[in-house]
C-alpha cells in the first residue's frame, strides 16, 4: 500500500532526489542571511528556489499583520512554480529564518523541467497536494 499524502506546514526533502537533475538547469547559487527576504516584499516573484540549507518562512502580508503559512527547509522548492500570475502573489513573502543557501531558477526553467521529467512532475503535484490541502485545514 502506498503512503498517503498528508497535509503539512513544514516542507523538507520533497525534491532532494532531483537535485542532480536540477543542477543541469544551470541555477544561480544564492546565499541569504538571517532576516533577508528571497524577493522584495510587495513584488511578484519571478524565481523559484531549491533550498540547500537553512530555513525559510513563508507568510502572507495583510493590512495589519504578517501570517506565517508554511516553513521550507533543505531539499524543497519555494515558491510554487506557476504558469500564470495569481492574485495573492505580491502579498506573499519568503524570509530567511536562518542563513540560507539556495539554487535559484527562473519560473520558465522549472516549468520546462516539469515537462521533460515525469517523475519531477509527479513530485511537484505531490508537493502541491500537501501544500494546498494544509490551507483547507
pLDDT at residue number 127: 87
Tens of pLDDT, residue by residue over 35-72, are 999 998 888 778 999 999 999 998 887 777 777 788 99
Tally Cβ neighbours within 10 Å of residue 60: 13
* pLDDT category of residue 124 using cuts at 50, 70 and 90: very high
- The DSSP line for 26-62 is -PEEEEE-TT-BSS-TTS---EEEEEEES-EEEEEE-
Contacts of 33 (CB under 8 A, 6+ apart): 96, 99
* pLDDT category of residue 134 using cuts at 50, 70 and 90: low
**Which one is predicted more confidently, 53 or 86?**
53
Question: How many DSSP H helices and E strands does the chain contain?
Answer: 3, 8
Q: Which of 17-21, 36-40, 42-46, 86-90 has the lowest mean pLDDT?
A: 86-90
The CA R_g of the chain, rounded to the nearest whole Å, is 14
CA–CA–CA angle 11, 14, 20 (5° rounding): 135
Model pTM? Answer: 0.86
Tell me how far CA of residue 78 lies from CA of 1, 24, 27, 63, in angstroms.
29, 18, 14, 24
Amino acid at each position: 500500500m502506498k503512503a498517503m499524502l498528508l497535509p503539512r506546514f513544514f516542507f523538507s526533502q520533497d525534491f532532494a532526489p532531483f537535485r542532480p537533475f536540477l543542477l543541469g538547469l544551470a541555477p544561480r547559487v544564492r546565499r541569504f542571511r538571517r532576516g533577508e527576504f528571497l524577493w522584495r516584499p510587495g513584488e511578484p516573484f519571478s524565481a523559484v528556489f531549491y533550498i540547500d540549507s537553512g530555513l525559510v518562512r513563508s507568510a502572507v502580508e495583510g493590512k495589519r499583520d504578517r501570517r506565517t503559512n508554511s516553513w521550507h527547509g533543505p531539499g524543497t522548492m519555494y515558491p510554487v512554480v506557476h504558469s500564470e500570475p495569481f492574485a495573492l502573489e505580491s502579498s506573499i513573502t519568503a524570509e530567511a529564518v536562518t542563513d540560507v543557501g539556495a539554487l535559484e531558477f527562473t519560473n520558465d526553467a522549472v516549468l520546462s523541467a516539469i515537462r521533460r521529467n515525469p517523475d519531477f512532475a509527479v513530485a511537484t503535484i505531490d508537493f502541491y497536494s500537501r501544500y494546498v490541502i494544509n490551507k483547507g485545514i
